[in-house]
Structure 1
Amino acid sequence: MTDLLTREDLAVDVLPAAHRLLGCTLEADTPDGPVAVRLVEVEAYRGADDPASHSYRGRTPRNAVMWGPAGHLYVYFVYGMHFCANVVCMGEGVAGAVLLRAGEVVSDPGLARARRPKARRDAELAMGPARLAALLGFDRERNGVDLTDPASPVRLCAGDPVPASSIRSGPRVGVAAAKDLPWRFWLDGSPAVSQYRAAVPRNRRNRVARVSGAPAGPD
Structure 2
Amino acid sequence: MIPVPVPSGPRDATVTARAAGPAPAHLVPLARRAYARDVVAVARDLLGAYVSVQADDGTVVLRLTEVEAYAGGDDPASHAYRGRTDRNRSMFGEPGHLYVYRHLGLHHCVNVVCGDRGEPAAVLLRAGEVVEGAALARERRARVGTVDSDRQIARGPGRLAVALGLTLQDDGRDVTDAAGDVVLGVEKGLHRAPVSHGPRVGVAGEGADADRFPWRFWVTDDRTVSPFRPAYRRPRPD
1:82 to 107, 131, 135: 107
After TM superposition, the score normalised by the length of structure 1 is: 0.88
1:132 to 135, 157, 160: 160
1:192 aligns with 2:212: no
Q: Is the 8 A contact 1:68 1:89 kept in 2?
A: no
Aligned position for 1:40: 65
CA distance in 1, matches of 2:128, 2:229: 18
How far residue 59 of structure 1 moved from its aligned partner, in angstroms, is: 1.1
Q: How many residues align?
A: 202
How far residue 202 of structure 1 moved from its aligned partner, in angstroms, is: 4.9
CA distance in 1, matches of 2:230, 2:162: 23
Higher strand share: 2
Aligned position for 2:194: 166
1:60 aligns with 2:92: no
Percent identical residues: 48
CA distance in 1, matches of 2:133, 2:222: 19
* SS of aligned partner of 2:203: coil
* SS of aligned partner of 2:151: helix
Over the aligned positions, Cα root-mean-square deviation in angstroms equals 1.5
Aligned position for 1:92: 117
CA distance in 1, matches of 2:197, 2:179: 34
Amino acid at match of 1:198: P
Q: Is the 8 A contact 2:49 2:185 kept in 1?
A: yes
Q: Structure 2, unaligned stretches of length 5 or more?
A: 1-25
Amino acid at match of 1:48: G
Amino acid at match of 1:71: G
Question: Residue 100 and residue 162 in structure 1: after superposition, are their counterparts in 2 closer, same or farther (change >3 A)?
Answer: farther
CA distance in 2, matches of 1:37, 1:202: 35
Q: Over alpha carbons, which structure has the higher Rg?
A: 2
| Deviations 1:71-114 (CA, angstroms, capped at 9, x unpaired) | 00000011111100101000111110000000000103222222
